[in-house]
Amino acid sequence: MRRSDSPRMTRHWNPEQRGDTIVHLVAHTHWDREWYHPAGRFRQRLAALIDELLDDDEPRTPFLLDGQAVVLDDYAALRPGRTEKLARALRDGSIEAGPWYVLADELIPSGEALVRNLLMWAHAGAGTNDQ
């Protein structure tokens, strides 16, 4: 059976049918700390993005910073005077980060590295820098 012949796919992709299909949209960013620009250029773009999120007075759904918390450290390094405003946004849920400290790499050689990654986020989230 081809994918398009699947009864389930036909039901979900048929524009003539109205049903109980629910679509969830998560406002987020995919953040590469370094890719086709040097890390410093990406950090500047990150700061501009978070500044815009913090300065926007319009109510909105939570914005997810790619599931990694290292972006919070990057932002704090560039905008130390705005960390309290960012902390308030994290507490009130308008901005979300984590549960990873850095995004997990599928080529990580051991499960321990994944656990330590989660522990780093947990410590950072608790306001400590213990590792």
- Tell me the pLDDT tens digit for each residue of 13-50: 566 666 677 788 888 888 777 677 888 888 999 999 99
Question: Are 52 and 85 in contact, with CB atoms under 8 Å apart?
Answer: no
Give domain limits for the chain: 25-125
Question: Are 39 and 10 in contact, with CB atoms under 8 Å apart?
Answer: no
Beta bridge partners of 27: 63
Check if CATH label 1.10.3860.10 holds for domain 25-125.
no
Rounded to two decimals, the pTM is 0.70
| Sheet containing 63-64, strands listed edge to edge, beginning at the edge strand earlier in sequence | 27-28, 63-64, 95-96
* Residue 85 per-residue DSSP state: H
